Amino acid sequence: DAGVIQSPRHEVTEMGQEVTLRCKPISGHDYLFWYRQTMMRGLELLIYFNNNVPIDDSGMPEDRFSAKMPNASFSTLKIQPSEPRDSAVYFCASITPEASNEQFFGPGTRLTVL
């Protein structure tokens, strides 16, 4: 298995632009998580899905952030409009708890908003 795949790996954009981050979980995993990592706040859970349904989005910072999971093999995290304080590394992780409680992380997307 290729593991969790995220794209792009790096994104540089200007304030006010729309940004879309993508994630492909490990095949067969039924939970998908989005995390954000910053120096100030560390790793924070933004939202997670079970069987493509959002379960908890209480970590989404503002209405500018939205996430979707249209099918079991794809999820997006969108920021519109983006702001400099959104600059961070965004990680996606997946898990199938019936097998293990280990979350498998993707390599992350480093977002820079100028």
Partner 1 sequence: GDSVTQMEGPVTLSEEAFLTINCTYTATGYPSLFWYVQYPGEGLQLLLKATKADDKGSNKGFEATYRKETTSFHLEKGSVQVSDSAVYFCALSDRAAGGGADGLTFGKGTHLIIQP
For partner 1, the binding residues (CB under 8 A) are 4, 31, 33, 35, 42-43, 45, 48, 50, 56, 59, 91, 93, 95, 97-108
Sign of CA dihedral 45, 112, 67, 25: negative
Nearer of residues 6 and 82 to partner 1, judged by Cβ: 6
DSSP β-bridge partners for residue 37? 43, 89
Minimum CB–partner distance for residue 101 and partner 1 (Å)? 4
> Shortest approach of partner 1 to residue 31 CB, angstroms?
4
Helix and strand counts by DSSP (H, E) for the chain: 0, 11
